[in-house]
Structure 1
Amino acid sequence: MKRTTATAIGAVLAASMILGGCGGSNDGDGQTASSAPSASGGSGKAITLQFWGGVPPESGPQEAVDNWNKLHPDIQVQYTRFVNDDAGNLKLETALLSNQDAPDVFMSYSDFNVTKRVEAGMIEPLDDLIAQVGFDVDGIIGVDNIKKFPDGHYYYLPANRNIGATLINKTALEAAGEQVPEAWTWDQFAALAKKLTTGDMKGTAMDAALNNYGEHLLAEEKPLDSYIKDDGTSNFDSPALKQGLELQKDLESSGAQLSRAEAVANKLTNQDALLTGKAAMVVSQIYMLRYIKDTTNYPHDFQIVFAPVPQLTEGGNVNIGGGMGDFMSINKNSPNKDAAIQFMDWYLKEGNMAMVPGGRIPTNKQADQAKIAEMLIGDAGDLIDQASLQAALSGDYVFPTSYNVPAPTELHQVYTEEMEKYLLGAQSIDAATAALKKRGDETIASAKK
């Protein structure tokens, strides 16, 4: 067993033991999901599917579920949100392995997590179920956009096409006498961040749970499996990763960006930084639209413009933070797999259009793109610059993927630890990259034993 899988299973089972017991989720009529029939025919009862995702219900999932439930009285879906952080993902994995209040259908939000869950035996292979409902993988999503695992099976179907972008406060940009960048490098980004820094407003900010420049630049240098070289050893001695670390240290030291330590302590999010005036721009994704339009929780009157993600080299088109996401899977232990694939089939073809106003873009190539653009903006034209948004949506991108990295979770932890020591001044950049390379190689070698 790989170390990644063993670590995941051990952590989740430990949590399961603390929670204790096994059981199914109550569907409201005394029947649990674990004991529900696999088809409603003959039972006289509707099947209740439990669907878990990380998006707040009011940002689209509940509308999608409600639309389904109106059309399918025999298969009713209940949506539960889990927070997409370490604690939330542990809660999901605990439920999947213990079968206590477990979802039938669930989302994973990274290559790392979906791979870990496949290796831990949490996910049902989808090939036969896909054939059963006649879902055209290539015609709807494209086979190149979905990973087949080493055993030759699909274990997820992506429901969201993420597009990374740089979101900028237009008022701050105009005050600095600058235009919306159309193509730029990280050096140009840093220069603009310093120019936009005025008073209490930083030029840029970063959600420490989601972003850092070292991994960004590393992925732009090597979009496929950025953590490893072609020979299988660690890529942590990459000049691009070093450049990214130095970029972050420079922005923090110059005062153009809040330090990582402060961002972690204050649980700073991209939306909080941008929309409350703490920062003039953030590198994030199109999903931020749902926060831009939420003037109740984020009151503001300035317009947001969209620029491309800065590139490692001039003319690059790697869209960090972008790619196929919202990996939709079926619980290996679900008793309702036939119903689950029916729901997935509908969701991926039409149901997730309800997610568009919240900033999630369907993976369905046949979807009406003009309608999607219109839905994204809604009645918030005074807050969202339409021309720059449409330019971001229509870009021709290379999306980073990470499918074949041994021990990705452990490697990410190694990277985070050494990065933070460097940013806190506990080690030099050369010491940090040397430690990263040494520990990265050791981690990979251990995972291959």
Structure 2
Amino acid sequence: MRKKWLHGMAAGIMLVGLLAGCGGNNNGENAAASSSPSPSPNASSSAPAESAAPAKDVHLRLYTFGPEATYNWSQTLKAYEEANPGVTVEALVLSDKGDTQEAMKKLDLAFASKEDIDILMFSDPAGYAQRVSLGMTEPLDDYIAKDGGYKVVDEYKVDTTLNGKVYALPGKFNPWYVLLNKDHLDEAGLAVPTDWTWDEYAEYAKQLTKGEGTSKRYGTYFHGPQGGGWMEFLKLGMLNQPTNSDFLKADGSSNLSDPNFKKTLELRVKMEKEDKSSVPYSDIISQKLAYRNQFFNQSASMLTIGSWMNTEIGGTDKLPLTFHVAVAPFPKNNKEDTIGYAPVTTDYTAVSSISKQKEEAYKFVRWYTTEGQLIQGKNVPSWSKVTNDQLNPIIDTILAGTMNPELVDKDSLIKTLLMSKASEMLPGASYQGEVYKAINEEYEKLILGQQDVDAMVKNSQDRTQQIIEANKK
């Protein structure tokens, strides 16, 4: 059993090194304003009620990747402690720069060393699912039953259910969207999209591309894949559907026969090789390009990225905003499809399976993912009880922390966030990182002209199946 545990933990640590869906970039370099909106009476009444008897000498330890600058822990935890006399919550920040990969490695080691961990935070669904499979999280279903028996799918915009059980509650709600240089759109006579397809996205990129050589302005920039990470950019046509949005299915079998996988590859090749409207992959890798620089320096007119960029969308001291920015929803495949499905990042906030204070830890997790999100005031909450009226001051607070919020089309941002929704979460397989790396390698052969799309699909399918078979032994 000990050998099996160590093998599983090693696999988990390896997986974190390979996954970069959020990476160290998700939290941004700049904090939003420290002031935050107060929860409305209506919102507060939907949160779990405080127990009549105050807890005595409870000290909870929260292990998190989120630094103070972007998570406002001092104000957030103080509010909880004031509402719950006798309880103190200590935030142990595992990466000062908010690097989720670094933080997860430290978390895995801390858990293996059986440190006093009460609350855990994960930043991506694969990392969350992997650690559930390693037994690091406590099932919350019994606590939820005692807490009124609410349904996660009703209470939150992200369903954290895995294999029929709930192991975490979601904090922030960061769907992917498209950032647009509105000045470039106006110049080309293009409207800000509110409902569009990937074909229309490609047409926009083509019309926005301008110039040649080193001064060329590209219509769009795709930041991945890279080294088995940022694999969202090879799943563009899979991520905007309610189910089967990953390379693997829920049972761990291959999903590469999904026609939207091939369509994504065809889109990437067309835009780079034929339209020449997206930044070349070879430049991204050889020059180690950064997506923030590409957009804010106006080297690319559109950027498909996660809404963790809300805290930077109005510009920062390092990358000031000198043009007008608008936001569009993640494109869909066909006109008749439902708009709004997109990759979503959240904070999977869980109770540690080795905590000696699980009841108190659950109580904090529930509060943090409801009222606590409003007090924290740094992100759009996953809590579905947040009203449209409450979203406005949250966005105002976030944008106030940027250099030029007046250049941001707030209306398009809010409309996009309100229509966004997460697809079904799939449990991550222990070999998922190996699959990502193999597909990334096959994509490099494709985009560098060493094989065509059909060959890439077949080779990716074959290698993925080999990995699956090898992990059955």
What's the TM-score, normalizing by structure 1?
0.80
SS in structure 2 of the partner of residue 280 of structure 1 = strand
State whether structure 2 residue 159 is matched by structure 1 residue 146: yes
Q: 1:94 to 1:308 in 2, by over 3 A?
A: same
1:295 to partner: Cα distance: 2.7
- With over 3 angstroms needed to count, the CA separation of the structure-2 counterparts of 1:392 and 1:73, relative to structure 1, is same
Q: Deviation per CA, 1:319-346: give whole Å up to 9, x if none.
A: 4544473211122222332332221121
Structure 2 gap segments, 5+ residues each: 16-52
User: Does the aligned pair in 2 maintain the 1:206–1:269 contact within 8 Å?
Assistant: no
1:382 alignment counterpart = 406
User: 1:145: how far off?
Assistant: 4.7
Which amino acid in the other structure matches residue 367 of structure 1? V
1:27-62 CA-to-partner distances (Å, cap 9, x unmatched) read: xxxxxxxxxxxx9966xx561423313x44212342
Structure 1 counterpart SS, 2:407: coil
SS in 1 for 2:237: helix
CA positional deviation for 1:310: 1.5
2:223: which partner in 1? 207
Cα 1:5–1:277 shift into 2, 3 Å: farther
CA contact (8 A) 2:238 2:246 kept: yes
Counterparts of 1:98-177 in structure 2, within 5 Å, are 98-100=113-115, 103-132=117-146, 134=147, 136-138=149-151, 141-142=154-155, 145-150=158-163, 152-177=164-189
- Which of 164, 182, 192 lines up with 1:180 in the alignment? 192
CA distance in 1, matches of 2:208, 2:162: 45
Q: How many residues were matched structurally?
A: 416
Partners of 1:217 and 1:140 lie apart in 2 by 24
Shift of the 343–416 alpha-carbon distance from structure 1 to 2, 3 Å rule, reads same
- Cα pair 1:168 1:282 within 8 Å, conserved: yes
- What amino acid is aligned across from residue 390 of structure 1 in structure 2? I
Match of 2:328 among 295, 307, 315: 307
Shift of 1:316: 2.0
User: Contact 2:239–2:342 (CA<8 Å) still a contact in 1?
Assistant: no
2:469 pairs with 1:445: yes
**Is residue 2:258 matched to residue 1:244?**
no
1:338 aligns with 2:359: yes
Matched with 1:287 is: 308
**Structure 1 Cα separation of the partners of residues 242 and 411 of structure 2:** 30
Q: Percent identity?
A: 24
Q: CA RMSD in A?
A: 3.4
**Distance in 1, Cα, partners of 2:264 & 2:13:** 37
8 Å CA contact retained: 2:342, 2:422: no
Q: Which residue of 1 aligns with 2:459?
A: 435
Asked if 2 retains the 8 angstrom alpha-carbon contact of 1:145 and 1:324, the reply is no
Q: Deviations over 1:184-232 (max 9, x none)?
A: 2212212211222233432211232435443121333673354346997
Cα deviation for residue 139 of structure 1 reads 7.5
Classify 1:264/1:123 alpha carbon distance in 2 versus 1 (closer, same or farther; 3 Å): farther
- Are the aligned partners of 2:139 and 2:166 in contact in 1 as well (CA < 8 Å)? yes
What one-letter code is carried by the residue in structure 2 that aligns with 1:99? K
For residues 278 and 67 of structure 1, what CA distance do their matches in structure 2 show?
A: 43
CA contact (8 A) 1:106 1:330 kept: yes
SS of equivalent to 1:76: strand
**Structure 1 contact 168–281 (Cα < 8 Å) conserved:** yes
Corresponding position of 2:68: 57
In the TM superposition, what is the alpha-carbon distance from 1:386 to its structure 2 partner? 2.4
| Gap change, CA 1:66 and 1:282, over 3 Å in 2 | farther
Q: CA deviation at 1:120?
A: 0.9
Q: Taking structure 2 as the reference length, what is the TM-score of the superposition?
A: 0.77
TM-aligned CA distance change 1:142 to 1:343, over 3 Å = closer
Pick which of 265-274 and 238-247 moved more: 265-274
- SS of 2:121's equivalent in the other structure is strand
Give the Cα–Cα distance (whole angstroms) in 1 for the partners of residues 446 and 14 of structure 2. Answer: 33
Structure 1 window deviating more from structure 2 (307-316 vs 193-202): it is 193-202
For 1:365-444, what aligned pairs fall within 5 Å after superposition?
Answer: 365-378=384-397, 379=400, 381-395=405-419, 397=421, 399-403=423-427, 407-444=431-468
Deviation at 1:294, TM superposition (A): 4.5
